[in-house]
Chains A and B, each alone.
Chain A
Amino acid sequence: MGRKILFITTDQMRYDAIGANGGAVARTPVIDGLAADGVSYDRAQPQNVVCMPSRATMVTGQHVGHHGVWMNGVPLPEDAPSVAAVLGGAGYRTALIGKAHFEPLLDPFLRFEENRIGFSGRPGAHRGFDHMELATHGAVGFNHYANFVRTEHPEAIGGFFQVLDADLDVSGVGGGDTGAPQVKLNPIRREWYHTDWVADRTIAWLDGLEADADWFCWMSFPDPHHPWDPPESERSRVDWRELDLPVGYPESPAEREAILDAKPRHWRLWYDGELVGNYEAPAKWVPNTLTADQVREVNALAHIENELIDEAIGRVLAAIAAKGWADDLDVVFTTDHGEFQGDYGLLFKGPYHVDSLMRLPLIWRPAPSAAAEPGRVSRPVGLVDLAPTFCRIAGVDVPEWMDGSPLPVDDTDAAARGFERVLTEWDSRQPDGTEMHLRTITRDGWVCTTYRPGTVHDGTEGELYDLELDPLQRVNLWDDPARRSIRDDLVADLVDHVVEPTSLRRTEAPV
């Protein structure tokens, strides 16, 4: 028997969401326990800050330029390589339960296999996974969770926030106590909510495996991605009225605006409601209307969702232990990208390469039988390194088509194996023609973003932050003559290592 691999992802979770990374609100004892017994990565970044490109990187181990999913709505090609197929070839049983999103969600013609599997009502095999059982952020679309709610609890459908408005734009309708966008009191029972459903279906799949099976299970929670509509019964866990404002939220409008004005122009344009650079951000919502109380309420709901995830993980780990697999179980926990959650006076995400969206929680708790030393890694790693890590755990050679490397176990290992930099890219072309192209390198305590020419930028703009002296990335040093040398060095290094797409494939849906 080999090692079992439980790969846990959340969606749109911040680095500081969990106790192990300094989070002081959400109680996450299970995840914190994994961190205490494993390796935590303090500079883990996605290769793109929206779902589809980031998830494509996780399943392929490739940079965006190689897998080709350059923005949401661009499907991962049917024949793209998959770490699940590699592990399956080594005898592993494989499953993805929860949110996949390698293919577009908005698909009325049912052109994409994920949606066809979901529409069929039965789990299906796809992308090397023997078993796909799918969910997204509510009871809509062609997925198994929506089927579950529609058929078994139809009265709960209307409890979720309705994500698209009559114009098929992402809705910014407010709710809750403060009128915050995409907040809704959801009367659904906790055990019917997608977080518990994902855990239940994971346990059911594990229960069907032979005792001596080796397995790889990607358990993919849709939360804490907006909308923020967790079960109303859980709202008493965190009272938004008692929350401190996040350190990233400048309470004074003048201070917020001064910070934004020092960044490339799309920051302030979005804040003022003059530009929306990402379809997933509500089209009609203007960030400068966001109030401090709305920031508190959104944060409270995200914390609640994270507590529910932690408890769901605990149930799954208990089920695994009951099967006698605990000693051989590797657990990898991370997310696909972050969330502003009030930083700079913003919510959601978009073409903004700062820690709010780029610094992710990442924990690898090796199997206890491996007797690995716990620790923290400060050197930069990427989600591109996950698939090679799964291969290493399974004792399989890392395929040449993977761009990443197995995660280091400590900083000495990281230094020896060349973990010096991590790259993050953004490309977008919106239906209205708006185009933005960002390339970012994080290295030696600096984060440096260049802008290619588009409809908003002329290609001369940039951002440069000193992560040690300016952990909130408020002071843009791009035009500081005293930092010109480090800027030039970082840009040259970025150019040397970035993997550019050979072409931008067709966008098949807005999301």
Chain B
Amino acid sequence: MATLRSHARIQRSADDVWGVLAAPERIREWFPGVVDAQVADGVRTLTLRTGIPLIEDIVTLDHQLRRFQYKVTGPIPMKFHLGTMDVIDDPVPGGPSCLLVYSTEIVPEPMAFVFDGAISEAIANLARLLDAGELNPEPLTAPTIATGPAGQD
């Protein structure tokens, strides 16, 4: 299993950043290559720019922890996938600030390179859009989906 981790410091409060990430369908606004996202019954279905769909089970959506976890279930052949986004309050003098940590565990390992690059580009884009005020939080409406030990099978 390959484990990846990327992070970004964002000059917004943790609540603001979570206000974007807690709406899973908004991924299309900040993840390059994703042109559509639909959420229904705990499943997020992405459509990539290539037309390829990516189907994901939402494992955790925890407003208190500010944690979002999902598993890619198809059609890209994954033996195991768990993506985790944590938004951590980390104020600094002079203004709001938080850390976004995006971790991925993945099998098969060759896909790690593909996801690592795409995720790094995506969170850099997310940070840029939030810092520039081009992405704004929405009221938390999605129900909490909390699992036991962090999304494990």
Contacts and interface: CB of A to CB of B under 8 A. Distances in A.
A107 B52 CA distance: 11
Interface stretch (B11-19, B91-99, B112-120, B127-135): B112-120
Contacts of B50: 108-110, 119, 142
Contacts of A98: none
Nearest to A109: B33
Given A109-B49, A167-B108, A507 B113 contact: yes
A107 B48 CA distance: 11
B123 to A, nearest CB: 13
A165 to B, nearest CB: 9
Nearest to A73: B113
Nearest to B33: A109
Contacts of B108: 167-169
A510 B117 contact: no
Nearest to A507: B113
A166 interface: yes
Contacts of B49: 109-110, 119
Contact of B114 (A166, A167, A508): A508
16 contacts: A106-B114, A108-B48, A109-B50, A109-B118, A110-B33, A111-B118, A119-B49, A167-B79, A168-B111, A431-B2, A431-B110, A431-B113, A507-B113, A507-B116, A508-B113, A509-B114
Interface string B33-66: 1100000000000001110101000000000000
Contacts of A508: 113-114, 116-117
Interface string A13-33: 000000000000000000000
A108 B114 contact: yes
Which size class do B's interface residues fall under? 20 to 34
A506 B114 contact: no
B109 A431 contact: yes
Contacts of A279: 110
Given A431-B2, A431-B112, A510-B113, A109 B48 contact: yes
A279 B112 CA distance: 13
Contacts, number: 66
Contacts of A506: 116-117, 120
A432 interface: yes
Nearest to A112: B117
Given A506-B117, A510-B113, 11 more contacts: A108-B54, A109-B34, A111-B32, A111-B117, A111-B121, A119-B49, A142-B50, A169-B108, A279-B110, A506-B120, A508-B116
A107 B109 CA distance: 15
Nearest to B119: A109
B120 to A, nearest CB: 7
A119 B52 CA distance: 12
Contact of B110 (A108, A142, A168): A168
Contact of A169 (B32, B110, B113, B118): B110
B76 interface: yes
B32 A109 contact: yes
Interface of B: 2, 32-34, 48-50, 52, 54, 76-77, 79, 108-114, 116-118, 120-121
Contacts of B109: 431-432
Nearest to B34: A109
A432 B76 CA distance: 20
Nearest to B52: A108
B110 A510 contact: yes
Contacts of B117: 111, 506-509
B102 to A, nearest CB: 15
Q: Which 5 pairs between the two chains have the least Cβ-Cβ distance?
A: A109-B33, A508-B117, A431-B109, A510-B110, A110-B49
Contacts of A106: 110, 114
Contacts of B54: 108
Nearest to A283: B110
A249 to B, nearest CB: 30
Contacts of A104: 114
B110 A110 contact: no
Contacts of A169: 108, 110
Interface in A426-454: 431-432
Nearest to A107: B114
B78 to A, nearest CB: 9
A166 B79 CA distance: 9
B34 to A, nearest CB: 8
Interface string A98-131: 0000001011111100000001000000000000
Contact of A509 (B32, B34, B113, B121): B113
Contacts of A509: 113-114, 117
Interface in A484-511: 506-510
A106 B117 CA distance: 12
Nearest to A72: B113
A281 to B, nearest CB: 13
Contacts of B114: 104, 106-109, 508-510
A508 B113 CA distance: 5
A350 to B, nearest CB: 16
Nearest to B2: A431
Contacts of A111: 32-33, 117-118, 121
Contacts of A107: 114
A509 B115 CA distance: 8
